[in-house]
Structure 1
């Protein structure tokens, strides 16, 4: 049986979906609660709204803290990625290792899974991420510090908002402006 709950964060109302003892999906904020519920019903027609169980309450607390600006690594949360392809699982395992405030490029993720040249496929996999924020796909950028895409409501603006909250670095090189938030780059 699948269950879901909505919860408020600094960037809006998010949702988690769980089955058994694992989180199977997360939803970043939609325009409004009605839209969020509609999207959840479309993605998980069998799921019913429920009070969060203990591990979901812990996940909610961690996500709320992260989106409030606290440095939190969500990689320890119990998730189930078995419904995704083996390639996507490899991409998500690498993505889970990116700490808050850091980023990798699609090409770097491709190299780390042993498939250099598969940057585009990595981008597709991240666009299919069923558990965004826990599997931090927002921490993966295009080459040259460009944002790349983001499939959540609000698109790249939502991605930049989360990266700004995390005070993300787009390079391993120290910068004179390390304490400044990431800004959208003009195209």
Structure 2
């Protein structure tokens, strides 16, 4: 694992030859650092750190290795990666995008086990009422709101006073 500092604290990445296998936000497991990371990992670190520094970055260029992810989850993650910075969708929107029109709850479970937080931008997913729900990353809903503010998503363009 490669650990790196960001504006929200120490984060980490695991990878294979095929791509990133896991993104850790603060509160990650203790693990010895891996050897020298390949170029695609170093680029992912730069992009993630820039996003947390307030740059509205699109992390679609970060290569993921979804080989250990259930097939349905991989489809949901791929569909969500098409939702750009500052854009929002609902669990139902994603369910329809993966041809599972009644699968909003299954999409929610996929989001809850997302091994690639921020890179697979689960912070861009809202409930059908537009409410902020289900963000398991450190800081929970406060972090989700902050990410949407950084990206200047509709309804989130003014920073919270009490975040």
Query: Is the shorter-chain TM-score for this pair beyond 0.5, marking a shared fold?
Result: yes
The alignment covers a number of residue pairs equal to 162
Give 1:137's match in structure 2, choosing from 116, 122, 125. 122
Give 2:42's match in structure 1, choosing from 47, 52, 57. 57
Larger C-alpha radius of gyration, 1 or 2? 1
Partner of 2:74: 89
8 A contact 2:18–2:65 mirrored in 1: no
Q: Residues of 2 paired with 1:168 and 1:61: CA distance? A: 22
Aligned-CA RMSD value: 2.1
Give CA deviations for 1:130-184 in whole Å, capped at 9, x if unaligned.
Answer: 11111111111111210110112222222222222222225xxxxxxx7424799
Q: Secondary structure at the match of 1:17?
A: strand
Q: Secondary structure at the match of 1:75?
A: helix
Structure 1 unmatched ranges of 5 or more: 31-35, 42-46, 171-177
- For the pair 1:128 / 2:125, whether they are aligned, the reply is no
Give CA deviations for 1:63-100 in whole Å, capped at 9, x if unaligned.
Answer: 11112222221112111011111111110011110111
Q: Residues of 2 paired with 1:19 and 1:183: CA distance? A: 41
TM-score, normalised to structure 1, is: 0.78
Structure 2 unmatched ranges of 5 or more: none
TM-score, normalised to structure 2, is: 0.89
